[in-house]
Amino acid sequence: MKPILKLIIAIMLILCLADMPYGFYELVRFAAAGTFVYLSYDYFKNKRDGLGFLFAGLALLFQPFFKVALGRLLWNIIDLVVAVALIFLLIRTFKKKL
């Protein structure tokens, strides 16, 4: 389940680089915040506190209730960095299983 969530959120964050309707960005904020809360909980549960804190911070950044106004360029950079990090974690997970 975690790999699928990471891939979906990474794709959604990359799509945020395009000119999308405002509702899409709201959907991404809800989906990303929920996914990051779940991932944070899961990493803390598995004693991987560093990633737990990282995803907790991302959940706070992407939460949709109190918007963080950073400007389009900075949000695009954040979206891209987080998407690349999620893809990196996916690749690392699959390499460990091989």
Share of the chain above pLDDT 70, in %: 99
Start-to-end CA span in the chain (Å): 18
Please report how the helices 72-97 and 2-15 are oriented relative to each other, as an axis angle in degrees rounded to 10.
150
54-68 pLDDT per residue, tens = 999 999 999 888 888
Rounded Cα distance between 29 and 46, Å, is 25
| Domain assignment of residue 31, given as a range | 2-97
Residue 49 confidence (pLDDT): 83
**Using 50, 70 and 90 to split pLDDT, how confident is the model at 3?**
confident
Domain count, the chain: 1
pLDDT at 53 over 80: yes
Question: In this structure, what token pair is assigned to residue 58?
Answer: 């991302």
Alpha helices in the chain (DSSP H): 2-15, 22-45, 49-62, 72-97
